Amino acid sequence: MKLKIDINAPENQPVIAGAIGLGIALVIYGMFVMKPLIGSIAALSQKENALRMQVQNAQVMARDKDKLSEEVREIEKKIVFLESRLPTQVDVAQVLEQLIKIGKETDITFVSLEPQEIKRIAVNEQSAGYAQITIKLNLRTGYHAFGKFVTAIENSQRFMSVDKIKIVSSQNDQNRHDIGVVVNAYALEGNRNAPLAP
Confidence at residue 63, expressed as pLDDT on a 0 to 100 scale: 77
Most confident of 29-33, 66-70, 79-83: 66-70
- Mean pLDDT value across residues 42-66: 80
Q: Which residues are within 8 A (CB) of 83 and not within 5 positions of it... i.e. 6 or more apart? A: none
Confidence at residue 141, expressed as pLDDT on a 0 to 100 scale: 85
* pLDDT tens string 2-36: 656 666 666 767 776 777 777 777 777 667 767 77
Packing angle, helices 143-154 and 92-105, rounded to 10? 140
The DSSP code sequence of 33-81 is: IIHHHHHHHHHHHHHHHHHHHHHHHHHHHHHHHHHHHHHHHHHHHHHHH
Residue 108 inside a domain? The answer is: yes
Give the domain extent around 151. 92-188
Is residue 108 located within the same domain as residue 175?
A: yes
Residue 3 inside a domain? The answer is: no
* pLDDT tens string 113-168: 888 888 887 766 666 677 888 889 898 888 888 888 888 888 887 788 888 888 88
How many structural domains does the chain have? 2
The amino acid present at 104, given as its one-letter code, is K
Is residue 64 located within the same domain as residue 98?
A: no
Residue 1 inside a domain? The answer is: no
Q: Is the dihedral of CA 135, 136, 139, 144 positive or negative?
A: positive
Is residue 31 located within the same domain as residue 75?
A: yes
- Mean pLDDT value across residues 53-62: 81
Is residue 105 located within the same domain as residue 182?
A: yes
CATH code of 122's domain = 3.30.70.60
Residue 137 inside a domain? The answer is: yes
Q: State which of 46, 62, 83 marks the end of a domain.
A: 83
Q: State which of 83, 112, 131 marks the end of a domain.
A: 83
Confidence at residue 136, expressed as pLDDT on a 0 to 100 scale: 93
How far apart are alpha carbons 88 and 186 in whole angstroms?
9
Q: How confident is the model at residue 197 (pLDDT cuts 50, 70, 90)?
A: very low
Is residue 79 located within the same domain as residue 20?
A: yes
Is residue 76 located within the same domain as residue 118?
A: no
Q: State which of 59, 83, 107 marks the end of a domain.
A: 83
pLDDT, averaged across the chain: 77
* pTM for this model (two decimals): 0.52
Which residue did the predictor score with more confidence, 85 or 137? 137
Residue 72 inside a domain? The answer is: yes
Is residue 162 located within the same domain as residue 104?
A: yes
Is residue 32 located within the same domain as residue 98?
A: no
